[in-house]
Amino acid sequence: LLIRRRCLVEDSLHQLATHEQDLKKRLKIEFVGEEGVDAGGLTKEWFMLLLRELMNPMYGMFTCEADGAYWFNPAALETSNQFFLVGVVVGLALYNSTILDLHLPLAVFKKLLRTGFYQASAPGMTAAKSADAISLAIVAGNQGLGTATATAPTLGNGVRLASGAGSALASAAATASLGGQNGTQKKMKSAYAPCYGPSGASAVAAESQPPVYGLLSPSAQLRYQISEMLTDVAQIRPHLARGLRQLLQYREDDVEDVFCLTFEASYDAYGDVVTVPLVANGANVAVTSANRVEYVLRYLQWVLSDSIARQFEPFRRGFYYVCGSNALSLFKPEDIELMVHGSGEDWDSDALRKTTNFVGFDSEAAQTVGEWFWDVLREMTQRDRKLFLAFVTGSDRMPTVASTQFSMKLAMLGSEHNRFPIAHTCFNQLGLWMYRSKDELRQKLMMAMTESEGFGLK
């Protein structure tokens, strides 16, 4: 792809459309007016700069939610082509084993791998409408009301099941893992269905859930689905998830008077609050003790699916345009997330030193500079270590392999101490000069890390 830096988004969209039949070939980037030859580093730079532009708030395609996670903007005005491009970029990164500086929540990868995962099935919605106070307490993680004293089994994140449902889940899990009787395991479908599942809303919802899901009663399926959805919404909007949990946990009968809610959802559209009904005539349907489970289920479905359907569909098509293979059904959403994002955890400079290859550090003076370098790296803050990793590798996140397996090359370039360090991102190589002091090395390295952009030939 031939890209002008000043027209990054436009050139990328045009070039990808021009080479749409070649997207599964090895990707190579050439920046107009620069001498750099792409052996991997220019590709990383292109991914980083393009996503930085596409995620810019001025485009309004995504909103920055809790902990820097990006989520689709329900009020986005951009065309479907832009979301298609983001999907293609994510697919290309996965296909080319390139880590992206793109903090998408796990819910995005669940939606990609499990069609209709956040769509409530007809039996589940019926169960939600008929849920009573005891079911509410169980869903919210409380013990049963009245005379019930036994603690229900837990289904993650404090959500508890009734004893019967918990037994059913445990029994189903055991049956799935051991094969069960009469070849139960052979009859089960994959837990992570391909993008194109069976037709029909109920079939899609069933196909997109783990195998255990189909063995549960409608009420147990409801509790399982609400637990999953609340956990995923908490990654995007923790305050909303906390409020919905409080609604479910409320034990009194005056829900309508205390919470003053109706069957409506709202979102911010560039400063204006837009309200949409969750059911027909939702503005006049109050949330009560009897219907609060249905309200929570519909609200979660709206946040994770209905409100962003127009934006997510072209994104999904773009992703599968590059990665449209049944091989994806072998992976869990967590696996794809790790391959796309890399590991965001901090890394140990001493562990990195053990896997680093040294070139030109034969003299005592060069070895002294090498020791200064590791001292400087060890003293860096986590933010500075991310800048260092981005400078040397093109990404501020470690690959999916641990830092004990990630290798770097450290080279001594010569005696010109007034020059800045040089990074070869294609090969994870950093070149140093014979600096006169540790402070001089730190100053030159920090300047190179924070002020560098672009590529050239040595």
User: Do 423 and 431 contact (CB within 8 A), yes or no?
Assistant: yes
pLDDT tier, 184 (very low <50, low <70, confident <90, very high otherwise): very low
Q: Starting from the edge strand earliest in sequence, which strands make up the sheet with 409-414, in order? A: 357-359, 409-414, 429-433, 422-424
* Three-point CA angle 452, 456, 458, nearest 5°: 110
| For residue 100, pLDDT beyond 60 | yes
Q: What is the pLDDT of residue 74?
A: 93
Q: What is the pLDDT of residue 174?
A: 33
- Using one digit for the tens of pLDDT, what is the confidence trace for 75-94? 998 888 889 988 988 998 88
* Three-point CA angle 404, 26, 386, nearest 5°: 35
- Using one digit for the tens of pLDDT, what is the confidence trace for 412-425? 999 898 999 998 87
Lowest-pLDDT range of 29-33, 61-65, 168-172, 442-446? 168-172
| For residue 153, pLDDT beyond 70 | no
pLDDT tier, 201 (very low <50, low <70, confident <90, very high otherwise): very low
pLDDT over 70, % of the chain: 74
Q: What is the pLDDT of residue 305?
A: 93
Q: How many CB atoms lie within 10 A of CB 182?
A: 7
Q: What is the CA radius of gyration of the chain?
A: 26
Indicate left, alpha or beta for 179 from its phi (over 0: left) and psi (-120 to 50: alpha).
Answer: left
| For residue 207, pLDDT beyond 70 | no
Bridge partners (DSSP) listed for residue 437: none
- Using one digit for the tens of pLDDT, what is the confidence trace for 234-279? 999 999 999 999 998 888 889 999 999 999 999 998 889 999 999 9
* Three-point CA angle 305, 293, 157, nearest 5°: 75
- Using one digit for the tens of pLDDT, what is the confidence trace for 283-326? 999 999 888 999 999 999 999 999 999 999 999 999 998 887 77
221 vs 95, higher pLDDT: 95
pLDDT over 90, % of the chain: 28
- Using one digit for the tens of pLDDT, what is the confidence trace for 39-59? 667 787 888 888 888 888 778
Identity of residue 131: A
Backbone angles phi, psi at 308, to 5 degrees: -120, 15
Q: What is the pLDDT of residue 12?
A: 87
132 vs 116, higher pLDDT: 116
- Residue among 158, 134, 145, 129 at smallest CA distance from 287: 129
Lowest-pLDDT range of 84-98, 279-293, 339-353, 358-372? 339-353
pLDDT tier, 334 (very low <50, low <70, confident <90, very high otherwise): confident
Furthest-apart CA pair in the chain: how many Å? 82
Q: What is the pLDDT of residue 148?
A: 33
Backbone angles phi, psi at 281, to 5 degrees: 60, 40
Q: What is the 3-state secondary structure (H, E, C) of the chain?
A: CEECHHHHHHHHHHHHHHCHHHCCCCCCCEECCCCCCCCCHHHHHHHHHHHHHHCCCCCCCEEECHHHCEEECCCCCCCHHHHHHHHHHHHHHHHCCCCCCCCCCHHHHHHHHCCCCCCCCHHHHHHHHCCCHHHHHHHHCCCCCCCCCCCCCECCCCCECCHHHHHHHHHHHHHHHHCCCCCHHHHCCCCCCCCCCCCCHHHHHHHCCCHHHHHCCHHHHHHHHHHHHHHHHHHHCHHHHHHHHHHHHCCCCCHHHHHCCECEEEEEECCEEEEEECCCCHHHCECCCCCHHHHHHHHHHHHHCHHHHHHHHHHHHHHHHHHCCHHHHHCCHHHHHHHHHCECCCCCHHHHHHCCEEECCCCHHHHHHHHHHHHHHHHCCHHHHHHHHHHHHCCCCECCCCCCCCCCEEEEEECCCCCCCEEECCCCEEEEECCCCHHHHHHHHHHHHHHCCCCCCC
| For residue 210, pLDDT beyond 70 | no
Average pLDDT, the chain: 76
Q: Parallel, antiparallel, or unpaired: how do β-strands 2-3 and 30-31 relate?
A: parallel
